[in-house]
Amino acid sequence: MHIYMQIAAAPDKAPRFYNLLLQQDLLGGWSLIREWGQQGRAGRVIREHFTEREAAETALIDARDIQLKKGFRVVFVQGEGQRRGA
C-alpha cells in the first residue's frame, strides 16, 4: 500500500510532502515506511516494524489521518488503501 500527500507551498518555500509505504518483509512481518520533507530535497525517513498486517494498516491509516488534519492532501494512492477511505 502506498499513499503520497502534499501540502501547498508557502510563498518562500517549496511544497512539502508526506509519503507512506507499507511493505511485507522477508520474514512475514510488515514495515511502515514514513518519509516527509520539502519537495526537491531529501526527506526524513522512519521505518516501523509490525508483526501483523492489520496493525501496520491501522498505523498507516492513522498517520494519513493525522497529516490530513494538518492540511496535507492525498495526491496518489496505490493498493488496498483505496478501499479504506484514502
Q: How many domains does the chain have?
A: 1
Q: At 44, which CATH number?
A: 2.20.140.10
- Model pTM score: 0.84
Inside any domain, residue 85? no
Its domain, for residue 30, covers 2-80
CA 30 and chain centroid, separation: 14
In a domain, 42, yes or no: yes
- Work out the pLDDT band at 14, boundaries 50, 70, 90: confident
Q: Is residue 86 part of a domain?
A: no
> Under 8 Å CB-to-CB from 36, ≥6 apart: which residues?
16, 17, 18, 19, 43, 44
pLDDT per residue as tens digits for the range 23-58:
999 989 999 999 999 988 888 999 999 999 999 999
pLDDT > 50? residue 83: no
